[in-house]
Structure 1
Amino acid sequence: MSRPENSASVLHAARRWLGTPYVHQSATLGAGCDCLGLVRGVWADLYGAAPETPPAYSMDWSEPQGDERLWQAASRHLRSKTLADADAGDVILFRMRAGAVAKHLGIQSHIGAAPRFIHAYQGHGVVESPLSQPWQRRIVARFAFPHLPTQSHQE
């Protein structure tokens, strides 16, 4: 289970991106991002800099090669979780069709009876959507951002 302060910080950062237009391979708040750019932007908000710069990638990601590049990158920088261990603030990875590589990311914003997630979606930009059954069936991995450093509170 993620720490509550992590979840709140992740969701605060993710919600800042709502309304950002969809732009492939971009990660610029308010100007444009894709689903990876959204997660990279939230990471930068939380930790100060992205952990790595992704190589150029096509809209089909690594489908021709069958490589799970997005999954591998997420595994390098995020904490893997079981699919059943859902928390707000989790990064969720989707396989958009059977037999394809996983190539869509979102950040879970609500759990429970009406789950939701924030994602950059082509044609819509960054939106908060219901995590409906069709979306839930496509989830193949779940991750948490690393624990944030504790901050001293001075009064």
Structure 2
Amino acid sequence: MTSMGVNGVISRVAEIKEQLGLNPPPPATVGSASGTKFASALADATGAGIAQPGKSGPSGADVVAAAKKYLGTPYVFGSDTPSKGLDCSGLVQQAYEDLGVDLPRNSWQQAKAGRPVGSMSDAKPGDILAFNSPVDHVAIYLGDNKMIAAPKPGDHVKIQSVYEKPSHIRRVLDDIPAAAVQDMSALRPAGLRAPAGGVTGVPYADLFNQAASRHGISPKLLAAVAKVESGYNPQAVSKAGAQGMMQLMPATARGLGVKDAFDPAQAVEGAAKLLSQHLKEFKSVPLALAAYNAGGGAVHKYDGIPPFAETQAYVPKVQKALAALGG
């Protein structure tokens, strides 16, 4: 790809733009409003990831780091919910999803995602390794002939040697100089544009945009809360027992209709609902954040941000994260 030069890449992107205007998005993505998901769609068409202007997108190393969060998770056939267990393709899909990149659910579909890699000598960390024909198993390559996988029933997500030659090696993410991509917004065909004021470039961007839209709040505020609460980790558990990416206490989650706080979609929906309630009640972002952290009753009791060290530190942290997102 790099041998094409910048002009060659730009020309190729223009061709893909035209193709995307005529054809539906590739199967490796779900129709989406986020720039990250469009990058994934374009990656499937070109065989390469596209960096956002002025910065790089997620890398293979990021995929490896995301997958390692699930080490020890039990193998459960047919499950793509980490709190319940994962099968092999569920692990691969979840690791990429944590970076905002959609992959198909089944192993044989994942064996067609991205672009082909010729051999193990060319494989890089983050590549998808698929096995057998027809494909019935997938894993994520770590480098040094190691991979992370959910191997079989009765086992768990773990690091293994690459025990046989893969039938397919696929690269979903590539590094391309940011200068090779001009204004990405001009390349998004109708239906793939990020919503006005939407958040991009963070894990679960679509969930934040969609839930915020439903509840009339800022998606950037919602993403900032997730960043401070858990670093976008859907499996986070606090010492106090708060659960999931949005760190909902079990009783609070039940009151919001969240059955599984470890499920990112449910967690974000519940947090959006809760933040919306606090914003309507207190008419102030700092007070709404204080209520999210310490409870609305504490905000009323102290007629402002409660004098708790955690809450006093929490509010400016979220505001700083919000500013970093352009909110």
1:1-155 map, 5 Å: 6-47=59-100, 50-52=102-104, 70=108, 72-75=109-112, 77-83=113-119, 84-95=121-132, 100-111=133-144, 115-122=145-152, 123-131=154-162, 135-137=163-165, 139-147=166-174
Deviation, 1:43, is 1.8
- CA change 1:146–1:110 in 2 (3 A) is closer
- Structure 2 letter corresponding to 1:88: P
Aligned residues of 2:90 and 2:105 also touching (Cα < 8 A): no
- Structure 2 letter corresponding to 1:117: M
Q: Give the aligned partner of residue 211 of structure 2.
A: none
- Structure 2 letter corresponding to 1:42: A
- Structure 2 letter corresponding to 1:16: K
Q: What is the TM-score when the length of structure 2 is the normalising length?
A: 0.34
Aligned residues of 2:60 and 2:173 also touching (Cα < 8 A): no
Secondary structure of 1:121's aligned partner: coil
Aligned residues of 2:111 and 2:168 also touching (Cα < 8 A): no
- Structure 2 letter corresponding to 1:82: G
Root-mean-square deviation (CA, aligned residues, Å) is 3.1
- CA change 1:30–1:129 in 2 (3 A) is farther
- Give CA-to-partner distance per residue, 1:62-106, whole Å, 9 cap, x none: xxxxxxx70x4431x3222112411111110111xxxx5221101
Deviation, 1:52, is 4.3
Secondary structure of 1:125's aligned partner: coil
Secondary structure of 1:17's aligned partner: coil
Q: Unmatched 5+ residue regions in structure 1?
A: 55-68
Q: Tell me, in whole angstroms, the C-alpha distance in 2 between the residues paired with 1:73 and 1:35.
A: 11
Q: Unmatched 5+ residue regions in structure 2?
A: 2-47, 50-55, 179-200, 202-323
Secondary structure of 1:136's aligned partner: coil
Which structure has the greater CA radius of gyration?
A: 2
Q: Which structure features the higher share of strand residues?
A: 1
Relative contact order higher in (CA < 8 Å, ≥ 6 apart): 1
Deviation, 1:147, is 4.3
Once superposed, which parts of structure 1, at least 4 consecutive aligned residues long, lie more than 3 Å away?
Answer: 1-5, 50-54, 146-151
Aligned residues of 2:150 and 2:158 also touching (Cα < 8 A): yes
